[in-house]
Amino acid sequence: MVSYIDELKAQMAKDVARVTKVTEDSALKPQEAKSTQVSLDSVTKANTAKVEVNVADQKLDNLKDLFITPPKTTGEIKINNLVSKPSNESIKNMMDDIKDEKEADSLINKWESTGKLVTKYGDAEIYRVPGESLLYYKTSIPKPSPSQKLIINTLKEATTRLVTTDPYKIRDENQRQNLYYQKILEILENAPEINVPKHLFDFYAKAVVTEMVGFGMIDSLIHDNKLEEIMIIGPKKPTYVYHKDYGMMYTNIIFYTDEEVQDIIDKIARILGRRVDISSPLLDARLPDGSRVNATIPPASIDGSTITIRKFREDPYTIVDLINFGTLNLETAAFLWCCVEGFGAKPANAIISGGTGSGKTTLLNVLANFIPDSNRVLTIEDTAELKLPIKHVIRFEGRPPGLEGTGELTLEVLVKNTLRMRPDRVIVGEIRSAEASTLFTAMNTGHDGCMGTLHANSARETLVRITSPPMEVPLMMLAGLDFIIVEKRINTAKGQVRRITEIAEISGVYENSPQANIIFRWNPQTDNLERTEQPIVYFDIIKTYTKNTDSDIRANLEKRISILNDLVKRNIRSIDDVSKAIQENYAKDKMNM
């Protein structure tokens, strides 16, 4: 069996040769290329040979990163870009700003008059514009005339005076907006001097509500459930959205000044009771509806303020959805179900790996639904995203340091604490640094069924990340991990899809190399997650823990395939229904015991 670390070293040698070649080509000093080699090599030995790491590590930290994501062809281009500066022409194109409202209007006009309507729903219209690689998303934006703006401002002032309680004490967004809507109607009815005809009451009330307790210009985007992400990349540039079916699109929402963007950031910060200013120009938090928001202002983001909102799905995906999407097939779903449940004996420890937005958190949520109701589940996250219909669950959320630099709650501290709470399961949303060691210690000391996600592009890379700084889990401890599940976002002719691309089993650590075998691998030709030739050691472990024979295990898998198949066929997909079916099955098993 070729160990991962051996394969890794071979790959590394190739990568180093490539990096060296590129650096030589681009007139970097040869010594620097050489020190790369030392530093790259030290990555794998991070745990066994600390001394070597220290010598070369500081020198080319960036290249180490390149290695961790092995530089394929694109990597080479990146390096070339670093050395040969892009021409002035391309700099200008990249930075082309939309000058003012007039230019924006004419651009929008062009997109809409030349574009071909692809689809239309609710407030949204989606166009294909000739010469543009992305689709164009148009939504209705309130565009009051200057005289209407005056009335809106007067109404805003009056409302502020009348509503004295803090609007954000009302947690429910609809309730909050309703209260304001009613108040504004009252003002309009009782203030004839504002002189608004009755048929425009609704227009003004809505405009004031979105400005005061909504998200202003991006309000309609927030309410489009087909959008996964909303991205404001600065003033004078279109806002982008990531659509469930159409992927990345640019929109007709353009901010002209940075103040307009900061205005929305302030609204969000107010909801959260936080502040974003020069002394703390970054905000990463969760909105009351569960959406994740990240905001940055200059000088952190050089070209202006930005907002990234990862929208929360009210109706979370389930295993049935993922099977329908083709993210995994029935067989693999049944297999993962068995692993999470652990044949009532040894639930597997698993890490879900993938890039940003590859669907890791979603898959973690889906798999956690297989945890039997009888378990005590503790979840730890930086920003709470998981939504588990499990009865006995306690959720923890980390916290950054406050303005005085104190009060930080790290995931490490939280994981340590959960281990004192007699958990059956520990779930860490995103494993990033020191908490990894604590989690692996748990896995190695009899805490089964631990799960988490991690940012890496393959099983192999996952192992390197886990054992390198800042996680630095000792190699021997990898033995506590049973599976690495890798998910990817893949571009196809049909658009973007998410696929589990490999499932690797860690069958132990011998002579300082983790033995990791790919047991399922996605075949792009057939678009199917296929079983490889590698035996599954986990089943042997199950046989030593339980009375199960091979044929019992097979029967168990088949039973689950048929339960899942039945759910798919009957289109039972909501989290409550799927969860009920899973738990009922456990109850039935118990009755038969």
Ligand X SMILES: Nc1ncnc2c1ncn2[C@@H]1O[C@H](COP(=O)(O)OP(=O)(O)O)[C@@H](O)[C@H]1O
Residues in touch with ligand X (CB under 6 A):
228, 313, 317, 322, 325, 327, 354, 356-362, 498
Instruction: Provide the CA 174 distance to its chain's centre, in angstroms.
Output: 26
- According to DSSP, residue 96 is labeled P
- Nearest residue to Mg ion by CB is 361
Residues near 61 by beta carbon (within 8 Å), at least 6 away in sequence: 39
Residue 281 to residue 301: CA distance in whole angstroms: 9
362 binds, among ligand X, Mg ion, none (CB under 5 to 8 A by kind): ligand X
Residue type, 36: T
Q: Which residues bind Mg ion (CB under 5 A)?
A: 361
| Cβ nearer to ligand X, comparing 229 with 482 | 229
Shortest Å distance, C-beta 206 to ligand X: 27
Shortest Å distance, C-beta 489 to ligand X: 8
Exposure of 563 in the CB half-sphere (CA atoms within 13 A): 24
Residue 304 to residue 295: CA distance in whole angstroms: 11
Cis peptide preceding 299, ω within 30 of 0: yes
Residue 195 to residue 198: CA distance in whole angstroms: 9
313 binds, among ligand X, Mg ion, none (CB under 5 to 8 A by kind): ligand X
Kindly give the pairing relationship between strand 393-397 and strand 377-381: parallel
**Residue carrying structure tokens 């909501």:** 574
Residue closest to 589 by CA, chosen among 541, 536, 546: 546
Exposure of 162 in the CB half-sphere (CA atoms within 13 A): 17
Shortest Å distance, C-beta 501 to Mg ion: 17
104, 110, 115, 117: CA torsion to nearest 10: 60
Residue type, 340: V
Shortest Å distance, C-beta 292 to Mg ion: 8
Residue 481 to residue 443: CA distance in whole angstroms: 7
| Cβ nearer to ligand X, comparing 70 with 354 | 354
Shortest Å distance, C-beta 439 to ligand X: 17
| Cβ nearer to ligand X, comparing 228 with 284 | 228
322 binds, among Mg ion, ligand X, none (CB under 5 to 8 A by kind): ligand X
| Cβ nearer to ligand X, comparing 242 with 343 | 242
Quote the tokens at residue 294.
């990240």
| Cβ nearer to ligand X, comparing 176 with 292 | 292
Shortest Å distance, C-beta 400 to Mg ion: 17
| Cβ nearer to ligand X, comparing 106 with 324 | 324
Residue 221 to residue 253: CA distance in whole angstroms: 10
Shortest Å distance, C-beta 468 to ligand X: 21
| Cβ nearer to Mg ion, comparing 136 with 396 | 396
Residue closest to 322 by CA, chosen among 568, 586, 577, 580: 568
| Cβ nearer to ligand X, comparing 359 with 449 | 359
Shortest Å distance, C-beta 229 to ligand X: 7
8 binds, among Mg ion, ligand X, none (CB under 5 to 8 A by kind): none
| Cβ nearer to ligand X, comparing 360 with 425 | 360
| Cβ nearer to Mg ion, comparing 23 with 361 | 361
Exposure of 208 in the CB half-sphere (CA atoms within 13 A): 28
Residue 586 to residue 373: CA distance in whole angstroms: 9
Shortest Å distance, C-beta 413 to ligand X: 23
Cis peptide preceding 316, ω within 30 of 0: no
- According to DSSP, residue 408 is labeled -
Shortest Å distance, C-beta 92 to ligand X: 33
Q: Which stretches does DSSP call E strand in 483-552?
A: 483-492, 495-510, 513-523, 528-531
| Cβ nearer to Mg ion, comparing 142 with 400 | 400
Shortest Å distance, C-beta 476 to ligand X: 29
**Residue carrying structure tokens 């459930």:** 225
Alpha helices, DSSP H, located in 420-514: 435-444, 459-467
